[in-house]
Structure 1
Amino acid sequence: MLPESTNGTSGGGLAVPMAWLCAEFTADDLLRASCLVPPGSLEYRAGRQTLALTIHLCEGADASSGTRATGRLDEWISRTAHDRPWPHWVRERLDERVHAGEESPDLAMAQETWRRLRSTQLRAADLGGIPSAATGLPVDESAQVWLPAWRLGLPLGHLALHLY
């Protein structure tokens, strides 16, 4: 008996987003190993999804499975760095794949994740209002603002990559 949901891939079988699932597994593993936030928290979820999207769009989830793939890790660190235009890069990469005619469950998962990361708002410390180190003023964590989930997940994911 064939599954109800097929899209003609994999010889008529169920379309499974394996590349996306590998990227998500890798992101989960990196974030859990860093012990930065409790698993299951909104912050954790934002970090995992941001990292998974980065890993998937770098086309490197399979290269890191079970090993410390230094080249890929360096690329992910570079992509998530504070001074990089991460959201622009994500939109660009997704648009490239759509324009190339790619139709896959992996692309659909990446697009949906990007939509959720942009539309989900989390209340967090104002990361954009951090004073420079030269002023010597401590960060006021009570000054909170609503941020798109990716704005919180990106520095969390970047820090988790550094701690790996």
Structure 2
Amino acid sequence: MLPESTNGAGGTSGGGLAVPMAWLCAEYLADEVLRAAALVAPGSLEYRAGLQALALTVHLAGEPDGPADAWAPRRVDEWLRHTAYDRPWPPWVEERLATRQAAGGGPDLALARTAWRRLRDTWIRAADLDGRTGPESPVDEAEQIWLPAWKLGLPLAHLSLHLR
């Protein structure tokens, strides 16, 4: 699958509008996973954070050409590894975005950068996911703090992948 095409011309020559197919495919896959998991209401801030976090993970973990054989078990395992709680996800995202920018960018990169900026700059009041005393202790839903959207979206993406 080509990462971008024009309105029927099959390429970007001729000055046509570039379509960010790789990003659109990643966002579609993320939406399918989140809807199937049914953990939060579609359209909510939490859902949007999970959608953008998972779409970024799918897009940046794959080849710039787009998700070939997206549901292969090795691909899902890779997404689970990147979204795991103990992984440094924000530095990974920044590194991958910089690598893609150095390779030439494109309309997919512009949408990925916008998603990352929204996840980083939007703050959501939610349960303190880091306030647990151990991995087995429950999250106190009454203890709410302001979190960057990615801190809520990433665990939602990870859990949704597990429930797929």
Say whether the fold is shared (TM-score over 0.5): yes
Q: Is the 8 A contact 1:94 1:111 kept in 2?
A: yes
Aligned to 2:3: none
Aligned to 1:158: 158
Q: Is the 8 A contact 1:131 1:139 kept in 2?
A: no
Q: How much does 1:10 deviate? A: 4.7
Q: Give the AA of the match of 1:18.
A: M
Tell whether 2:38 aligns with 1:35.
yes
Q: How much does 1:138 deviate? A: 4.4
Paired residues for 1:106-145 under 5 Å: 106-132=108-134, 138-145=138-145
Say which structure is richer in helix.
1
Per-residue CA deviation, residues 20-65 of structure 1 (Å, 9 max, x unaligned), is: 0000000000000111111111100000000000000011653355
Aligned to 1:9: 12
Q: Could you tell me the TM-score, scaled by structure 2's length? A: 0.86
Tell whether 2:62 aligns with 1:62.
no
Aligned to 1:81: 84
Q: Is the 8 A contact 2:129 2:139 kept in 1?
A: no
Residue 149 to residue 10, structure 1, CA distance change in 2 (3 Å): farther
Q: Is the 8 A contact 1:125 1:144 kept in 2?
A: yes
Tell whether 2:18 aligns with 1:22.
no
For the aligned residue pairs, the C-alpha RMSD in angstroms reads 1.9
Q: How much does 1:144 deviate? A: 0.4
Per-residue CA deviation, residues 68-111 of structure 1 (Å, 9 max, x unaligned), is: 321100000000001110001000001111123x1300000001
Q: Is the 8 A contact 2:59 2:67 kept in 1?
A: no
Greater gyration radius? 1
For structure 1, the 5+ residue unaligned runs are none
For structure 2, the 5+ residue unaligned runs are 1-5
Q: How much does 1:13 deviate? A: 1.3
Percent identity, aligned pairs only, is 63
Query: Segments of 4+ in structure 1 off by > 3 A?
Result: none
SS of the residue 2:27 aligns to? helix
Q: Could you tell me the TM-score, scaled by structure 1's length? A: 0.86
Alignment: residue pair count = 153
In 2: Cα distance, 1:64 partner to 1:159 partner: 21
Paired residues for 1:82-97 under 5 Å: 82-97=85-100
In 2: Cα distance, 1:138 partner to 1:99 partner: 42
